Amino acid sequence: MAVPWGLLISTAGGIAATVVGVIAGGVVGRRSQTRQWLQESRTAAYEKFLQAFGAVEMELREAFVDRRTPAVAWGPFNAALQSMSLVASQEAMTAAERICYFIEEFTILFHGGQPSDLEELRPIHGGLYEAHLRFVNAARRSLDPTQEHLVHALGGPSAWHGVESAWDPGNGTAG
């Protein structure tokens, strides 16, 4: 009996195409799942960092205005930084490092006593405002490159006139 080579070749071709399709589908599906995981992880890490940064910045600003020693909870801030280091884009990490620089400058104002001059805070506050906006834009781009560039961010350091209005130079306390 003669072997039907045409049938054998078409069957082998069908099996090979199916195997290649399953492998390719697995690779594409895994890559898609990895991208989805990274996007979700980045979103959570960025949110956690912004929340921790907001708490630290608010406490430092309120302590400055109230002329008291700040009671900063550094644990959540450092934990948020560590979580972000696992998944953040390089641009977002660079922007977060800039925020950390200004947070450190802000805390230095309290070393050796309470700050007495509102002008000491002005460059730090301006730097924090810009660093926060830069971070928000970097985070948005890392989550979706089509996100438009923001010129103002919600939350974060308040407008400078808000800080000035809370400061009463007459008695050096909040107004």
Beta bridge partner(s), residue 174 = 167
Strand partners, 167: 174
Residue with tokens 């992880």: 41
Give 131-168 pLDDT, tens digit per residue.
999 999 999 999 999 989 988 888 777 766 666 676 66
- Separation of alpha carbons 154 and 110, rounded Å: 27
Instruction: For tokens 């730090």, name the residue.
Output: 124
Q: CA-CA distance, 106 to 108, in Å (whole number)?
A: 5
Whole-angstrom Cα distance, residue 152 to residue 134? 10
Whole-structure pTM value: 0.75
How does pLDDT run across 46-100, given as a tens digit for each residue?
999 999 999 999 999 889 888 888 999 999 999 999 999 999 999 999 999 999 9
